[in-house]
Amino acid sequence: MKIERVEVIPYSIPYTHPLQFASGKVTHADHVLVRVHTDDGVVGTADAPPRPYTYGETQESISTIITKTFAPQVTGLDVFDRERIHAVLRRTIHNQVAKGALDIAVWDAIGKRLGAPVHKLLGGYTDRLRVSHMLGFRPAHELLDEALRFGETYGISTFKLKVGRRPLALDIEACHVLREGLGDGVEIYLDANRGWTANEALEVLRRTEGLGLTLLEEPCDAKEALSRRRLVDRSPIPVVGDESVPTAGDVSRELLSGGCNAICIKTARSGFTEATEILGLCTGLGVDVTMGNQIDTQVGSLATVTFGAAHEATSRRAGELSNFLDMADDLLAEPLLITDGTIRVRDVPGVGAEIDEDKLATYRLS
């Protein structure tokens, strides 16, 4: 089953509640839908969310690198020869999100061809993931209202709070207000998106002691190597690498140099193939993982659920899966539902991301 062509469809869907965090703000899902067409009529689908402030990729760069560079290289290759496809993609450095979407689309095509759900092909550990909801920058009382509403409406009891603001007191207050308002049964963890220095992060840890925060993600730039290592040594909670570890090589470097001691896996930037490699590294070394979110659509979130539910280590913690709730619309023909705080995998061939063509026609840019 050979790849006949690769299609890129840039589209834009507005957010009803834009998400703001230390490294950027998302008001529109300006993403690229990627479709791998095979010579026997199977179409694999995936979503590519550009995050220029994180990886340098844009909607235009993703469309161009796939159309001009990757598509000519993978056309004619068999979708089952994933190692060959990856050997080709690896010749081009960076462009993680473009590569990740191509990889997921290839897996989707494989699943459809075999008549098998991809979550089963990847591991089939469980059929659902608990959902963690990401809270962006807002005044503390609004954050609490949002968390309570998500708890009540969707049964979500894990929240990732975006921090990394200055003065530090803004985030410290938010942590205290959330813990007081949500009670002890709710998990709260932090993601600073490199907004602080390592020493500022240490101060925040001191001033939030006793609140039971569980993880501290990307507190500062990982290039701040010495101070970051000192922070990791002194932190009472795992320090999670996210944007510092988009590839398996980055994961090895950061874990071995003491830049972090837990890893956020994101299928949007690693696809399923490199995410599997990263997961193997982490479980082999005895390092905790989280399933992160790149402010994904329902299409992207379904890919995260597919990978996360397939493995034991990735399904232990709640995965970040709910940002699509803040979008005005989405492309999935059958909407993704959060029930009892969980999202289920789809037991259909492939990943299960069937696209509503009318919606795609409405939101596509070209």
- Residues serving a catalytic function are 162, 191, 217, 242, 266, 294
* Residue 38 near residue 3, CB atoms below 8 Å: yes
Residue 296 touching Mg ion (CB under 5 A): no
Measured from the CB atom, the residue of 292 and 349 that comes closer to Mg ion is 292
Nearest of 275, 218, 252 to residue 100 by alpha carbon: 275
171 or 217, CB closer to Mg ion? 217
What track of x and - describes contact with ligand MUC for positions 340 through 359 (by CB under 6 A)? --------------------
Considering just the CA atoms, what is the radius of gyration of the chain in Å?
20
Choose from ligand MUC, Mg ion, none: what does 51 bind? Cβ within 5-8 Å by kind: ligand MUC
Q: Specify whether the CB–CB gap between 197 and 226 falls below 8 A.
A: no
**Dihedral over alpha carbons 231, 232, 237, 238 (to 10 degrees):** 140
Contacts of 308 (CB under 8 A, 6+ apart): 129, 291, 314, 315, 319
d(CA 171, CA 174): 5
| Residue nearer to Mg ion on the CB measure, 57 or 217 | 217
CA 171 to chain CA centroid, Å, is 23
Quick check: 191 binds Mg ion (CB under 5 A)? yes
Q: Which stretch in 135-143, 150-158, 230-238, 288-296 sits in contact with ligand MUC by CB under 6 A?
A: 288-296
Q: Interface with ligand MUC includes 292 (CB under 6 A)?
A: yes
Stretch that binds ligand MUC, among 139-147, 291-299, 311-319, 332-340 (CB under 6 A): 291-299
Q: Which of 157, 193, 208, 235 binds ligand MUC (CB under 6 A)?
A: 193
Interaction mask 210-249, ligand MUC, x per CB under 6 A: --------------------------------x-------
Spatial separation of the C-alpha atoms in residues 159 and 151, rounded to whole Å: 10
Site string for ligand MUC, 11-50 (x = CB under 6 A): ----------x-----------------------------
**DSSP collapsed to 3 states, 280-342:** HHHHHHCCEEEECCCCCCHHHHHHHHHHHHHCHHHHCCCEECCHHHHECCCCECCCCCCECCE
Query: Which residue ranges make up the site for Mg ion (CB under 5 A)?
Result: 191, 217, 242
Query: Which residue ranges make up the site for ligand MUC (CB under 6 A)?
Result: 21, 51, 54, 191, 193, 242, 292-295
